[in-house]
């Protein structure tokens, strides 16, 4: 038996290579498919099937690419949509893999035609690949087709989970398309492996065995990053083949400076962005690119990259998986080269929570912006006096943020605050302070301070 | 959550690094422990506990080494024996790991004081590390303490599995100390991940829910490789620290030749061993070293290595994990260097099954030696006229093998036959033929030939 | 300063990446160009120029590919030929690289329009990239355009070396396009770095400072592998872009067997080829593929690969660099899978030199075939009674080799003999014995035997 | 022939592995010797000799370690000192390596008993390993034994270079123990390979062919980092064996905080150190650790490490090569974890040169501290009004730096300034600004500003 889970970092996307007796299937391949071919070749396995659990919306699927390179057949879920390549999977369709059998199980809900795939040894279900239907500790979202369909899809999801997946039995291993950190389910648990039994017991959504209650709980409208629309179209059409991850062009500070007009500058450093950055650049720390680039980077503008060093391949990989192919170059020598060339910079003030407390205690009149999500706010204390605008909605609500007072920006840790600060700075805000450590720091020190303030 | 399974190839031994919130435990570490430290450091985890599931008999445990390097505490199972380092685990002892809890569960059977370790999130058991108590598709062997204790240990094993492990619930993921290919359980399945539910359903040993029947089925006497005794002693004493895998010395053909007297020569090539090899060398193909070196390599004699190329580190790693530290060197430049130096060689005849059939059809009087195990023979057809001596017992039964007739040596694939042939050749047999592809090939072609022979 | 020599193993081809202050040039890139982009990106260098020293005949140049990926300009040598891309270099043309200067120096001889490139710091020549003009211990061959031009090109080569390269001064480092082992110069020394001074002193060809003597010595007709013609055409046209090394398809023994008709089978193992191989396959050991595939593999036939294991990428890389893109697949599981499937095999007898001597001493009537080159024969003793046919010419001289006697095949080490044996076996020879260790072994043991025979 | 140059980054130290026909020598091995054994084993070479060019003062030599692991013999230079292991090399001593010959050539000057090693093919010198006698573009320093011996050693160095090395001939390749960036020669050129001829022509020191003038030019007293004394003693005694690079312990912010008293904290980030750092930490960016740790880190105090991420092995390697073995741990999760734990931080203000200019133009009364070396100042314009204290001397001159005015700290690029700022901040300075891009930036923009200021 061959089994490998391939994680696309940042996206928290899981794809799988599964096989037996030299025959393999890949489930939900990402766009840069070399990894699947390498594993298969290392073990002498031939990839026979490329199986999609649904039309993906959060990344470009590599099915067409992998088919072209491996000779495998592509099988799509969501046959209600019009794919320009591959074939439509049917419920209960079987895909033999050596002495094991993979079979399709229609599990609508996340999308109207989502599929799961069950791997059986003889008649026993060993594993089920659940796509975006069932995660560790969470279920798939059902709001992607619009408010009018949310209820119906939630009801479908209930049936899929309770009538099809759970009956596979507690012992079946559940292998979803996403892990903790995905934009596809904010409450996904960090259990790295799970089972039907564990989900039945631990997944909060599965505690509603009454269908109406389940629907009520699950049929929420969530945010949909604008880039999803782009992905949906591309995944139907079959993304342009990507022979390899593109090579970004190193640009001297001078060439970089010339390329800036008409480009968007993405800087993936953390606190050193605040220390000094190329004027006009957007901050998204490396680990956050997959989650946030889709909100703030346009597709029709070349992207310029800035990092501490010349190593920009990790960010390029994340961007390319989301279809950002127009990467115009990167700052050769990293930010130090920019400084040495004597170009001007901008900075964002940063404060630690103890410093913030001293400011507040001293009576400084400040405006506190908390860019965490509603969900996070629900689950934690809030910061007294803070205004909440979720980071993803910040550009729609700039009118609410004062320019004439010092604005302290909070998030969970200080990373998303820097995104917000960079976006506001671009738009003319000058008196911004990012709170280092964010709410996490606040929670660590607040009690004594609160009591002090009370006193 | 941090979870990594570390496989020691050849041994089919699984150890585990498990953690949460920067605190980690390692279960049954192997002797070369760098891998655990590297993973922990990459994620900033501190190793707090080193947990053994039992006194290991098939490899040198790295607990003392890892403790010295990480500062973690060693906790032994099998407290009835006298360890010279570390502490004894108690039943239900708890080892907190961040927000998760690992707790000890005494599961005797394989040894009298074996432990499993259960990882819980709140109260729910997520995973259980079962050591050599329960494998995928198999249970631990109970015969290692001698025939007189086999029945009692089998009864213990029944209780451990049925009264302690199975009650954890079908959804709990089962993580044993060995996978398919281990000398610790010949019938281990190649399911790469399993659960209590899957074992309850698919494990043939667990179909006997009657204790007496279970005991009858499980209390068999199996072979015990001679090196087990060596491992047991060393694992109690605390193996000498191994700062790193030793560097083998490259030897010119001339120096190699000089070193040969008083050494044992291990050649890890496959068919090319048959083609030509250094006289007197033992053949064990690379993948078989962990399984077979313990039967045929003495501990008190220096080992010389021969391979196709200079790359001998994979075999060195396997040997060192079994305590063979006295590696005198390897043939620099591989076997080609030996040939170019004009030294003499020996060879072993090899035949394909079609060739063998032609021989047999032509009436050649041959003696067929089948070195497969009883278990394999039970599960497959046998070869008409073949004599069976299991490869591990061959040196005790040389008297049964004729020297004056051509001997065809069979195994499953042709690899173990070459071990047998090399051992017999050392002892003076000259007319040996290894059957390429072994029984597997025989099974593929036998029917038409049989009918032909009938005709 | 950035300087890296990239060696393409097998080909013994050297290409170079050279740069200063973030500007780089690549000299004679190979077809799989990822390596240049990786090095350049790691250091933040931009590749500005792609410089060819001559129209290469022994491999596919990666200039077009690298230009497409880096945006650099291609500059060709040999402007007398009609390139379909890039521009023609002019003598003394300058290519600034930061504070260093690379300048073109026309050095005809190997081809009529060959160039060297001189790297200068201020006015001092630091390095000279000599292409196939001057190697360590050898000069470029001048016979590639045909016998009628050999004399004239040799005279040109004399002028290029004595009047242009040597005047650069003894201290200049010489960086040629090939190292020891190349098909482009059999006498290339294994000095890994050299200088004008060392060549002036140690290169045997440079000891003829009289032009007429130099020409006489150098203007020899050498063998020209048939694939050179293919490379010359492709390198003018601009090879089809190669986005990456192709993925070979794993084939089960059954599928492999079906694919065999109409394909050529290349087996890259060493002695184990002799032990047993797929009937009809050609033996070229891995390290010899670049040197010998061009003689024996047709371009218009799909290639099937056989190795010990599934790892065939090293041979694929070598083949692709020579333009063999039609690789139909490889035997999944290696030769062992073939044996286990029970398919028939062939073998080639192998003897060590001591065994051979015993045969000869016993009066066996044998025919000895020595497949070494004339050059090798000149430089060593010969084997008494051996017939010489160079391995590359073997197919043209099969008529001279008897089928009715045992044929012992000799080369330097036993590797090329196996090629010869496989080719002869394909054509019906049955009684072939490859001499292990070849002449090298013979030379180690022959004297006592000779005296014995005399006695 | 086998030739590999092993660079220890940061130190800019070059060691060499050189061999022929399976016999190798290592010249000036570093302390972590695995790399030599790996290369030798990969090629099947046996290390026969470990040769030192002098008693090293800038790093711990790995001779004893490598001898213990390879069985090779250690040969020391500087026989006037009392080594507790190995043997003393004699002038002209020969070390045969296959068909090549390495011979010792006494070349005193840098130390009284320094040796070079000449590699010859037959009689021709191919390469010379010059240790700290002759570098690319520089010669070894002669002031390490104290002012009274400088003149005499400079005279010896003249003889060694002019009478022993240069006569080897222009074509000989020169392989020194250091490249550009070493603390052993600030003016070492970045020519990656050089020859006697190139040095004769381009090395500024070699332009004085008159001995007296040479001595006058070369016999300067340079700075001697305090750790040199420690290295000299250890290299005579034979450093304690280092089985492997030690594993640093990950510490939670809480544990880190507890470990701080009695430890020194080394933070290897660049600008983000300025943004926010653990109070009391010393800044040395990663690339500067080998050059500056020896000035500011005591040997008798445990070191705690802070980086952006958990990856601290590169800094550990640099420290261990300098004998800093007492590494108490590192901040798990990087600086972000510190922030999230809500601990207090300090920061250093940073300004770009344009910002600085605006400050100065606005009449702000500032004190400008330039921490570059005398040598750098000689070779470039200075900054008007700046006070110079070399970074290495800063702690001896704190009295000259005002605490009551804003201090702008300048170096070449902004990296060393941050070291200075961190040291001053530890000692109570509060109003410090590091100039981003340093003099390099200043030089890029100063002219227009100067003229503006003039106007």
- Determine phi and psi for C233, rounding to 5 degrees: -65, -45
Please tell me the distance in Å from B198's CA to the nearest CA on chain A: 5
Please tell me the distance in Å from A23's CA to the nearest CA on chain C: 10
Residues present in chain C in total: 455
Q: Are C212 and C158 in contact (CB under 8 A)?
A: no
* Cβ within 8 Å of A, C 19-58: 22, 34, 37, 40-46
A341 touches chain C (CB under 8 A): no
Give the separation between CA B95 and CA B24, rounded to whole angstroms.
Answer: 10
Q: Which of B66-70, B328-332, B450-454, C383-387 has the lowest mean pLDDT?
A: B450-454
Half-sphere exposure of A308 (CA within 13 A, CB side): 21
Minimum Cα–Cα distance from D330: chain B residue? B44
Give the separation between CA B31 and CA B15, rounded to whole angstroms.
Answer: 11
Q: Are A231 and A60 in contact (CB under 8 A)?
A: yes
- Give the E-state strand segments of D132-244 in sequence order: 134-135, 138-139, 173-176, 194-195
> What is the per-residue pLDDT across B14-65, written as a single tens digit (0 to 9) for each?
999 999 999 999 999 999 999 999 999 999 999 999 999 999 999 999 999 9
DSSP, residue by residue, C275-312: H-B-TTPEE--GGGHHHHHHHH--SSS-EEEE-SSS--
Please tell me the distance in Å from C150's CA to the nearest CA on chain B: 37
Q: Are C40 and C86 in contact (CB under 8 A)?
A: no
Please state which of the four CATH numbers 3.60.15.10, 2.40.50.320, 1.10.3720.10, 2.90.10.10 is assigned to the domain occupying A2-235.
3.60.15.10
> What is the per-residue pLDDT across A209-268, written as a single tens digit (0 to 9) for each?
899 999 999 998 888 999 999 999 999 988 777 778 888 999 999 999 999 999 999 999
Average pLDDT of C58-67?
A: 94
Element (H, E) at B256: helix B253-259
Q: Are A203 and A138 in contact (CB under 8 A)?
A: yes
* Cβ within 8 Å of D, C 193-232: 193-202
B285 touches chain C (CB under 8 A): no
- Counting runs of H as helices and runs of E as strands, what totals does chain C give? 15, 24
Q: Comparing A63 with D245, which gets the higher pLDDT?
A: A63
Q: A40 Cβ partners below 8 Å, 6+ apart?
A: A17, A19, A24, A46, A47, A70, C250
Q: Which value does ipTM take for this structure? A: 0.93
Report pTM: 0.94
Please state which of the four CATH numbers 3.40.50.300, 3.40.250.10, 1.10.287.1080, 3.30.70.20 is assigned to the domain occupying B246-340.
3.40.250.10
Dihedral sign of CA atoms B247, B251, B256, B259 in order: negative
- Determine phi and psi for D80, rounding to 5 degrees: -70, -15
- Counting runs of H as helices and runs of E as strands, what totals does chain D give? 15, 24
Q: What is the pLDDT of residue C439?
A: 93
A275 touches chain D (CB under 8 A): yes
Residues of chain B with CATH 3.40.250.10: 246-340, 349-444
Please tell me the distance in Å from D338's CA to the nearest CA on chain A: 8
D263 touches chain B (CB under 8 A): no
**A340 → closest Cβ in D308, D343, D413:** D413
Q: B185 Cβ partners below 8 Å, 6+ apart?
A: B132, B135, B138, B139, B140, B141, B178
Put simply, the answer to whether C46 touches A251 (Cβ < 8 Å) is yes
Give the separation between CA A139 and CA A110, rounded to whole angstroms.
Answer: 9
DSSP, residue by residue, D304-346: EEE-SSS--HHHHHHHHHTT---EEEEETTHHHHHHHTT---B
Element (H, E) at B149: helix B147-159
Distance set, CA C247 to CA B278, C31, C65, C165, C312 (Å): 37, 16, 18, 43, 10
Give the separation between CA D169 and CA D68, rounded to whole angstroms.
Answer: 37
- How confident is the prediction along chain D (455 residues), in pLDDT tens digits per residue? 999 999 998 888 999 999 999 999 999 999 999 999 999 999 999 999 999 999 999 999 999 999 999 999 999 999 999 999 999 999 999 999 999 999 999 999 999 999 999 999 989 999 999 999 999 999 999 999 999 999 999 999 999 999 999 999 999 999 999 998 877 777 899 899 999 999 999 999 999 989 999 999 999 888 899 999 999 999 998 877 777 888 899 999 999 999 999 999 999 999 899 999 999 999 999 999 999 999 999 999 999 999 999 999 999 999 999 999 999 999 999 999 999 999 999 999 999 998 898 888 888 888 999 999 988 888 888 888 899 999 999 999 999 999 999 999 999 999 999 999 999 999 999 999 999 999 999 998 754 443 333 33
β-strand partners of A433: A349, A408
**A332 → closest Cβ in C22, C37, C334:** C22
Q: Are B411 and B394 in contact (CB under 8 A)?
A: no
> What is the per-residue pLDDT across C70-127, written as a single tens digit (0 to 9) for each?
999 999 999 999 999 999 999 999 999 999 999 999 999 999 999 999 999 989 999 9
**D247 → closest Cβ in B22, B41, B249:** B41
Per the structure block, which two tokens stand in for C395? 């197919």
**D276 → closest Cβ in A340, A436, A438:** A436
Q: What is the pLDDT of residue D37?
A: 96
Minimum Cα–Cα distance from A174: chain B residue? B171
- Using the predicted structure, report yes or no on whether residue B169 has a pLDDT greater than 80: yes
**A202 → closest Cβ in B1, B3, B121:** B121
CATH code of domain C349-444: 3.40.250.10
**C169 → closest Cβ in D3, D194, D197:** D197
- The residue with tokens 């919306």 is A57
Provide Rg for chain D, Cα atoms. 24
Put simply, the answer to whether D414 touches A345 (Cβ < 8 Å) is no
Please tell me the distance in Å from D352's CA to the nearest CA on chain A: 6
Report which of B351, B347, B348 is spatially closest to residue B362, judged by C-alpha positions: B351
Report which of D412, D285, C24 is spatially closest to residue A339, judged by C-alpha positions: D412
- The residue with tokens 């492999």 is C256
Q: What is the pLDDT of residue A446?
A: 56
* Cβ within 8 Å of C, D 88-127: 121, 124, 126-127
- Using the predicted structure, report yes or no on whether residue B446 has a pLDDT greater than 70: no
C402 touches chain D (CB under 8 A): no
Minimum Cα–Cα distance from A242: chain C residue? C243
Q: Are C127 and D202 in contact (CB under 8 A)?
A: no
Looking at residue C161, the DSSP 8-state letter turns out to be I
Q: What is the pLDDT of residue A454?
A: 35
Q: Please list every residue in chain A whose beta carbon sits closer than 8 Å to the beta carbon of residue B190.
A: 1
> What is the per-residue pLDDT across C283-324, written as a single tens digit (0 to 9) for each?
999 999 999 999 999 999 999 999 999 999 999 999 999 999
Share of chain A above pLDDT 70, in %: 98
Put simply, the answer to whether C1 touches D191 (Cβ < 8 Å) is yes
Q: What is the pLDDT of residue C452?
A: 34
Q: Give chain B as a 3 state SS string.
A: CEEEEEEECCCCEEEEEEEECCEEEEECCECCCHHHHHHHHHCCCEEEEEECCCCCCCCCECHHHHHHHHCCEEEECCCCCCCCCCEECCCCCEEEECCEEEEEEECCCCCCCCEEEEEEECCEEEEEEEECCEECCEECCCCCCCHHHHHHHHHHHHHHHHHHHHHHCCCCEEEECECCCCCCCCCCCCCCCEEHHHHHHHCHHHHCCCHHHHHHHHCCCCCCCCHHHHHHHHHHHCCCCCCCCCCCCEECHHHHHHHCCCCEEEECCCHHHHHCECCCCEECCHHHHHHHHHHHCCCCCCEEEECCCCCCHHHHHHHHHCCCCCEEEEECCHHHHHHHCCCCCECCEEEEHHHHHHHHHCCCCEEEEECCCHHHHHHCCCCCCCEECCHHHHHHCHHHCCCCCEEEEECCCCHHHHHHHHHHHHCCCCCEEEEECHHHHHHHHHHHHHHHHHC
Residue-wise burial string across D175-212, b where 16 or more C-beta atoms lie within 10 A, e elsewhere? bbbbbbbbbbbeebbbbbbbbbbbbbbbbebbebeeee
C1 touches chain D (CB under 8 A): yes
Residues of chain C with CATH 3.60.15.10: 2-235
Query: Which residue of A21, A22, A337 is the best one to mutate when testing the C interface, meaning the one whose CB has the most C CBs within 10 A?
Result: A22
Put simply, the answer to whether B250 touches D40 (Cβ < 8 Å) is yes
Q: Which of A188-197, B231-240, B273-282 has the lowest mean pLDDT?
A: B231-240
Give the separation between CA A303 and CA A296, rounded to whole angstroms.
Answer: 12
**B341 → closest Cβ in C274, C345, C444:** C444
């Amino acid at each position: 038996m061959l089994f490998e889970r391939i994680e696309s970092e940042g996206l928290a996307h899981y794809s799988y290579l599964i096989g037996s007796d030299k025959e393999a299937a890949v489930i939900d391949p990402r766009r840069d498919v070399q990894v699947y071919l390498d594993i298969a070749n290392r073990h002498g396995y031939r990839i026979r099937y490329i199986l999609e659990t649904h039309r993906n919306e959060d990344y470009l699927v590599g099915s067409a690419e992998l088919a072209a390179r491996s000779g495998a057949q592509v099988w799509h879920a969501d046959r209600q949509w019009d794919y320009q390549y591959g074939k439509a999977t049917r419920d209960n369709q079987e895909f033999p893999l050596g002495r094991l059998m993979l079979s399709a199980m229609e599990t609508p809900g996340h999308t109207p035609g989502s599929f799961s795939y069950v791997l059986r040894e003889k008649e026993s279900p060993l594993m089920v690949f659940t796509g975006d239907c069932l995660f560790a500790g969470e279920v798939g979202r059902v709001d992607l087709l619009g408010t009018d369909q949310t209820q119906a899809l939630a009801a479908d999801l209930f049936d899929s989970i309770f009538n099809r997946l759970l009956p596979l039995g507690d012992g079946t291993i559940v292998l979803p398309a996403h892990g903790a950190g995905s934009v596809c389910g904010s409450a996904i648990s960090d259990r790295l492996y799970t089972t039907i039994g564990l989900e039945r017991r631990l997944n909060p959504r599965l505690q509603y065995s009454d269908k109406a209650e389940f629907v009520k709980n699950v049929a929420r409208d969530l945010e949909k990053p604008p880039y999803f629309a782009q992905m949906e179209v591309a995944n139907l059409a079959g993304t342009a083949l990507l022979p390899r991850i593109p090579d970004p062009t190193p640009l001297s500070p001078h060439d970089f400076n010339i390329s800036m007009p008409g480009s968007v500058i993405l800087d993936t450093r953390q606190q050193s962005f605040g220390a000094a950055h190329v004027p006009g650049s957007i901050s998204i720390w490396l680990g956050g690119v997959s989650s946030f680039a889709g909100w703030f980077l346009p597709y029709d503008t070349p992207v310029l990259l800035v990092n501490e060093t010349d190593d920009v391949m990790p960010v390029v990989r994340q961007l390319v998986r989301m279809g950002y192919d127009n990467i115009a170059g990167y700052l050769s020598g990293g930010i130090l080269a920019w400084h040495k060339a004597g170009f001007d910079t901008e900075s964002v003030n940063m404060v630690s929570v103890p410093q913030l407390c001293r400011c507040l205690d001293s009576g400084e009149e400040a405006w506190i912006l908390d860019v965490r999500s509603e969900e996070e706010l629900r689950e934690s204390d809030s910061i007294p006096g803070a205004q909440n605008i979720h980071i993803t909605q910040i550009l729609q609500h700039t009118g609410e943020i004062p320019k004439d007072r010092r604005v302290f920006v909070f998030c969970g840790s200080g990373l998303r605050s820097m995104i917000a600060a960079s976006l506001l700075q671009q738009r003319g805000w000058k008196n911004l302070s990012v709170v280092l450590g964010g709410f996490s720091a606040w929670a660590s020190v607040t009690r004594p301070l609160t009591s002090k303030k009370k006193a």
